[in-house]
Structure 1
Amino acid sequence: MTKRTANRQLSMEAFFPTAKSSSSDPNLESSKRIKTSDPSARNLHSDSPDAPEWFDNKSVLIGKFGVPNKSAKIAAFDLDSTLIKVKSKYKRPVDENDWVFHNKNVVKVLRSLHTEGYHITVISNQRGLKINSDKERAKKLTRKSQLKTKISNIAKQLDIPFYFYAATANDFFRKPGIGLWHLMSIFANDHGQKIGKQVKGIMIHASTLYLDLDSCFYVGDAVGRPDNWRSGVPKDFADTDLKFALNANIKIYTPEEYFENATDIPKIEIPQHPKAIVQSHNDSIDLGEYDGDRAQLYQEIRSNMASDKMTMVVMVGSPASGKSTLVINELVKDFGFERINQVNNTNPNKASRASFIAIGKKYGAKVYSAHVNVPKDLVKHNIAFRSFSKQAAEIIRFLGRNETGVSTPTQPTAPSTNKTAESQKTLLEGNDPKNMAFEDIFNHLEKTSPATDQLSIIAIHSFFSKFELPTKKEGFDNNYVVLFEPYFGKDGSTNSELASVSDIWHMYLE
């Protein structure tokens, strides 16, 4: 195997201290024939045992090629611009044959990793495969068929067993989300043997339980490198691969480092964490532009209540800034306000606020503005969180569920093709997920915690482009600023100690 540059051990321990894992000897399987009794492939279909097996639903496309090593050591790779690159002169491939390996070392490096006992997996974002309407169905199905052909051809040249995971929806399975990493982890290790242990007060990921994270790594090109990081090379289109590795708490390499032994790679900058975004933005707010903060607003409200004065509070803030959360959990619950909700009305400027001020003045109310001051980057993060936080928490809880006291069988149990409600309940409550078919796992996740559609980025840009700071000149008696504080409910947790929505918010989500 080619020599690699020094490990990039980029850790999120400041946010997620994780249990230390001990290594586990891999149980290598020499046969390349697919065992149809393998529970992880039981719901996949092929004409012959030697053919690739595929599973497909609205969130993922999974391909299994041969029988990958059972191992606690994972060698994971991005696909485009990492394992392969476009062969033609165009930026994007013109068809399923328009590709070549990143360089001549790719095949021998992956074969060497397989020989060393690594479980080889490819994890790729492929949102372009998502079918959003009947009109585009035929086109997307053709594109999906072409991708399958491409991966099958890559597999023939690699001539090693591996899994291919593609995230096709905008949810926790899509990088930088680590839904696919958790799913992969329970099928990668030898019989799902747990090598980690739960530590009180620490969120234990499924991957921490099943994998030797010190021996796991990801190779990807989206790490946030700037323009001309190498002469004439444009900046990375994103930093999702870097954030994915940070979320999974594993090492990250660029393809140039891993396959070329390149030494001209710039230092990878750790992206600003959501918690740090909140802190730095709150510190930058000029409080002199307002008449006070949330505490002073509440003091005014109490004073008005004591003197029997009517109060109106006009909420100002972008989508996903926390306006509704504040109103419902504080103004309504603690002060008895009546909530007037106009869907998607963010009150960004004078014109949008004028009618509320006029009504308040008509009835002699004290009229205040409450500006929930949140930066655009955090809004994007909050929108992703709002869309799939419940899905993410359930993925972690369910795939690590045999740590919660649920009994698990010693032998895989083949799921029935005609399940009654009771047998389905028994299947989900009695079986370890590693002994379940992909179909049953995804059916459970879809029924219990589906991701919701995300708000369009256009709505976010619209608010910030129209925003005007509230002033007394437009009729407000006072204007207050509300500094963002994430709110996760009464105790911030799901019904499992293994995951909580607050832990999900503290991950990189977009």
Structure 2
Amino acid sequence: MPRPKRKAVSDSAVKAKRAKGETDLPDNLKWSHVGDAGYGNPLMIVLSSDSLKGATKVAGFDIDFTVIKTASGRKFAIGSNDWEFWDESVPGKLRNLDEDGYRIIFFTNQAGIEKQKVTPDVVKRKIEAIIADLNIPVLVFISAGTNQYRKPSTFMWDYFVENCNNGQKLDLSKSVYVGDAAGRAKAWEPGKPKDFSCSDRMFATNIGIDFHTPEEFFLGEKEAPFTWGSVDPQKVITINKKRDVSRYVSKKPEMVIMVGFPASGKSSFCRQYLEPKNYTIVNRDTLKTMDKCAKAAAETLKSGKSVVIDNTNPSTTARSDFIQVAKKQGVPCRCFWMKTSLELAHHLNYVRMNQTNGKVRRVPDVGYGVFKKNFEAPTKAEGFSDVLEVDFVPEFQNKRHETLFSQWTTGGH
């Protein structure tokens, strides 16, 4: 049954309401918060309605520089009123989609909330004003930081499907997503800057729906060339190698020092191959200081057990204290150097956060910069009895972990 036509709202009336900070949200749309990011901020902010009938098809949109742009011409808005529609065709197009039975949804990353550069209320007021201008129901999902809900992760979409569509099954073949983060190079159109990432295109691809840029969707322009700008997880997942476990395990007590980028697979390797063979894992994330790690390592070796130092250990200085502990205890010390590429480590960084539902937060990019700055390739000359290079092999605890690994991430962006 077609949606009843809404009473027209004059532009002057809308502008007057916006100037007073007033809005008129239709269809019992209400805000809610999901999760706790600290400092009183949520992980995700949701605008949804219990009274809206579930939809079978979705037209999803990024907000900034897709549905709207700044009225001031600045890159970042000055307050909640600094906006205008991206193109004059936008409101009519969205209203037509609503009439055609599409559920209109905004999916937006707003990391500025977590960084305390903008408050949730400012973002909400702007979105309420946009919806008031459109005069149609729009659901909204806001990732309020660099957490598991951030696009291109599908967590915002998944939350909508599971909680905000009244159990209605979606037809992905009829759904679409539109966004400006499309991986286009500098001057993809004369005078146009490079897209800051490919996260919107990745988001749509991860969901399994069609993707368009604003230029393609609203203006009918042809698709511009693009690059993903990240490791292709589908190519990685096809790696078919088997580890020779006998290479890694010693029957006699020893120390193993791991070396590798953050999120390069060190901890997973230790848990899967060494811990079951009675190696004690010593990790700075748990013990907090290197002195405590060295002390725990010495006590483990004194007890006659093997120990593995599961830190990044980039430099000879970072490794030397542990090597000395092994020498004092009269046991050999080997180095396992994870050869995971930087690009893949960035991907694994996001995957780990998503697999743990945000319990393990993403390592900031600065962590990779520090590792690269301090890195010195491990050699036997440091005192190692052997240095083993360990290639990355995709291995998964369950199907969900494999699915999340196979999704695009923005890597180091």
- TM-score where L is the length of structure 2: 0.78
How far did residue 473 of structure 1 move?
A: 2.2
2:196 corresponds to: 237
Distance 1:69 1:366, change over 3 A: same
Is the Cα–Cα contact under 8 Å of residues 28 and 70 in structure 1 kept in the other structure? no
Structure 1 CA distance, aligned partners of 2:226 and 2:211?
Answer: 10
User: Is 1:211 aligned to residue 154 of structure 2?
Assistant: no
1:93 to 70, 77, 86: 77
Q: How far off is 1:114 after superposition?
A: 1.4
Q: Distance in 2 between matches of 1:338 and 1:154?
A: 56
Question: What's 1:30 paired with?
Answer: 4
Residue 409 of structure 1 corresponds to which residue in structure 2?
none
1:445-476: CA deviation from partner (whole Å, max 9, x where unpaired): xxxxx644333332222112211111122222
Q: What is aligned with 2:373?
A: 465
Cα distance, 1:211 vs. partner?
0.8
| Residues 85-125 of structure 1: per-residue CA shift (max 9 Å, x gap) | 11113221112121111111111111111121111111111
Structure 1 residues 361 and 60: CA distance shift in structure 2, 3 A: closer
**Identity over aligned pairs, percent:** 31
1:49–1:319 CA distance, 2 compared to 1 (3 A): closer
Matched, 1:456 2:404: no
Change (3 A) 1:463 1:278: farther
Pick from 267, 270, 284: which aligns with 2:225?
267
- In the alignment, the residues of structure 1 paired with residue 141 and residue 180 of structure 2 have an alpha-carbon distance, to the nearest angstrom, of 17
Alpha-carbon contact 2:69-2:84 (below 8 Å) kept = yes
Residues 453/339 of structure 1: CA separation in 2 closer, same or farther (3 Å cut): closer
Residue number in structure 2 paired with 1:333: 276
Task: Give the 3 Å change call, closer, same or farther, for CA 159–67 of structure 1 in structure 2.
Answer: farther
The residue matched to 2:390 in structure 1 has which SS?
strand
The code of the aligned residue for 2:218 comes to: F
Closer/same/farther in 2, CA of residues 333 and 253 from structure 1, 3 Å limit: same
**Paired residues of 1:69 and 1:114 also in contact (CA < 8 A):** no
The aligned residue for residue 184 of structure 1 is: 160
Q: Equivalences for 1:373-392 in 2 at 5 Å? A: 373-391=339-357
Is the alpha carbon distance of 1:328 and 1:152 closer, same or farther for their aligned partners in structure 2, counting shifts above 3 Å?
closer
Task: Tell me the equivalent position of 2:141.
Answer: 165
For residues 385-437 of structure 1, the C-alpha deviation after alignment (integer angstroms, 9 at most, x for no partner) is 3223143xxxxxxxxxxxxxxxxxxxxxxxxxxxxxxxxxxxxxxxxxxxxxx
Shift of 1:172: 3.0
Matched residue, 1:128: 112
Residues in 2 aligned to 1:32 and 1:452: alpha-carbon distance in whole angstroms: 46
Distance of aligned partners of 1:481 and 1:279 in 2 relative to their CA distance in 1, 3 Å threshold = farther
Contact 2:256 2:335 in 1 (8 A): yes
Aligned with residue 102 of structure 2, among 118, 121, 124: 118
SS at match of 1:469: coil
Correspondence for 1:148: 124
State the Cα distance separating 1:319 from its structure 2 match. Answer: 2.2
Runs of at least 5 residues in structure 1 that lack an aligned partner in the other structure: 1-26, 34-45, 194-209, 284-292, 392-449, 494-499
Contact 2:69 / 2:85 at 8 angstroms: preserved in 1? yes
Q: Distance in 2 between matches of 1:313 and 1:50?
A: 61
Q: Label 1:466 to 1:125 Cα distance change in 2 as closer, same or farther (>3 A).
A: same
**Contact 1:220-1:255 within 8 A present in 2 as well:** yes
Aligned to 2:279, what secondary structure does the other structure show?
Answer: coil
Report deviation, 1:359: 3.2
Q: Could you tell me the TM-score, scaled by structure 1's length? A: 0.64
Whether the 8 Å CA contact 1:63–1:163 is kept in 2: the answer is yes
Tell me how far apart the structure 1 counterparts of residues 90 and 188 of structure 2 sit (CA, whole Å): 22
How do 1:78-89 and structure 2 match up within 5 A? 78-89=62-73
1:483 aligns with 2:391: yes
Aligned to 1:504: 404
| SS of 1:368 mapped into structure 2 | strand
Structure 1 segments, 4+ long, off by >4 Å, are 46-52, 64-69, 186-189, 277-280
- Tell me the C-alpha RMSD between the 2 structures: 3.2
User: How far did 1:159 drift?
Assistant: 1.9
Tell me if the contact between 2:70 and 2:84 (Cα under 8 Å) persists in the aligned partners: yes
Aligned residues between the structures: 363
Amino acid corresponding to residue 219 of structure 1 in structure 2: V
CA shift in 2, pair 1:456/1:188, >3 Å: closer
Higher relative contact order (CA 8 A, sep 6+): 1
Per-residue deviation at 1:66?
11
Report the 3-state secondary structure (helix = DSSP H, G, I; strand = E; otherwise coil) of the residue aligned with 2:192. coil
Report the 3-state secondary structure (helix = DSSP H, G, I; strand = E; otherwise coil) of the residue aligned with 2:387.
strand
1:370 is aligned to 2:336? yes
Deviations 1:339-361 (A, max 9, x none): 34344842111122222233334
Q: Does 1:249 align with 2:233?
A: no
Conserved 8 A contact 2:3-2:99: no
Q: 1:299 to 1:118 in 2, by over 3 A?
A: closer
**Aligned-partner SS, 1:192:** coil
Residue 56 of structure 2 corresponds to 72
Residue 312, structure 1, aligned to residue 270, structure 2: no
Counterpart of 2:99, as a letter, is T
Change over 3 Å in CA distance of 1:340–1:66 after alignment to 2: closer
Q: Separation in 1 of the partners of 2:25 and 2:406?
A: 45
Distance 2:234 2:213 in 1: 26
